[in-house]
Amino acid sequence: MSEKYFLEIDPKILHKELLSLVYNWIDFLAIQKKYSENTIISYKRDAENFLNFINEHYGEAITLNHLNSLKVVDFRSWLAKRVNNGLNPRSNVRAISSVKSFFGFLAQKHLINMDAINLLKRPKIPKLLPKPIETKIIIDFLNAQYFFENDELWITNRDRALYYLLYCTGLRINEALNIKTAEIASTMKICGKGKKERIITLLPIVLEKINTYIHTCPYDLNEGYLFIGLRGKKLLAPYVDSRLEKLRILYNLPDHASAHAFRHSFATHLIQNGADLRSVQDLLGHESLSSTQIYTDINDYNILNIYEKTHPLAINSRTEKNDTIKD
């Protein structure tokens, strides 16, 4: 098992049998369910959070009997503590799924019942519209002479190639960073979330930026990942977002500018320019059309804004309102 999947809790809080079952569950997620590394790590952390809470609740090493004796009020107390600690509804919904997955694994082995946890209701997740970056802002940024003045040329070329790739394909940041140089082509197969594969097309300008980066990079990229850091190791998503956070200030970018905002911008700008929803769904690699539907909500919101700013009666209404305020 990868070191990433070792429990980051004191093993003494779990009875030996239960500790072994937790690791069996993690193996089950990786081997049989074939969940991504990020999903497994998230599920593991949620389980650790829950087991720590239950240990504090009982004040002794947890056994299967302890888990079987839990009531729905115990699960609600765990969620209440997470809320008090500032964890948002989306994070808490995932945490419930994680713990239910663990309990379900134990139930399949006839070691536990699901009665109490099945009574637990998921928190409602507020519907948040994705925040794209305006077209002019994003294009001006992509074509800046440099991003950080003191960067070596190949670093500037690397970042430009990455930003162009994200905006022109809608790739998730980890999908982009997992690309190997040998895979680069005008048409590529991407393995995305849930191991779902899709085909993307690289525009000529994206290929041009990538080639410029490759030819100026001091490392041999042919046998490994396309995007690397100063020491020649694979570039990581937190590093990319950390740089973008600094660039927001330097280039007066909106507060929501991040690697994922390029993906939102890609989808939003396509739909605003007439792309059909099914095509955008395929390009983004969404399992469900409802996940893509949210970008039409942004478009509807923009249309309403334009309507309110341009309709004669809306203009007259605002003028009268302003006059009233002045009076």
Q: Closest Cα to residue 74, out of 115, 44, 21?
A: 115
Active site residue 167: no
Active site residue 172: yes
298, 200 contact by CB (below 8 A): no
Q: How far is CA 183 from the centre of its chain?
A: 23
Judging by beta carbons within 10 Å of its beta carbon (0-12, 13-18, 19+), is residue 212 exposed, middle or buried? middle
3-class secondary-structure state, position 190: strand
Q: 220 is written with which tokens?
A: 């041999």
Active site residue 225: no
How far is 38 from 42, CA to CA, in rounded Å? 6
Q: What's the Cα-to-Cα distance from 43 to each of 8, 25, 68, 88, 113, rounded to whole Å?
A: 13, 10, 20, 16, 20
Q: 162 is written with which tokens?
A: 């990455």
Q: How many CB atoms lie within 10 A of CB 85?
A: 8
Active site residue 90: no
Q: Is 195 left (phi over 0), alpha (psi -120 to 50) or beta?
A: left
Q: 137 is written with which tokens?
A: 């802002």
Active site residue 127: no
Catalytic residue among 82, 263, 264, 269: 263
Catalytic residue among 44, 158, 160, 172: 172
Q: Closest Cα to residue 164, out of 189, 147, 148?
A: 147
Catalytic residue among 45, 193, 198, 243: 193
Q: Closest Cα to residue 138, out of 39, 38, 266?
A: 266
Active site residue 193: yes
3-class secondary-structure state, position 14: strand
The number of residues in the chain equals: 327
Catalytic residue among 15, 57, 131, 260: 260
Active site residue ranges = 172, 193, 260, 263, 286, 295
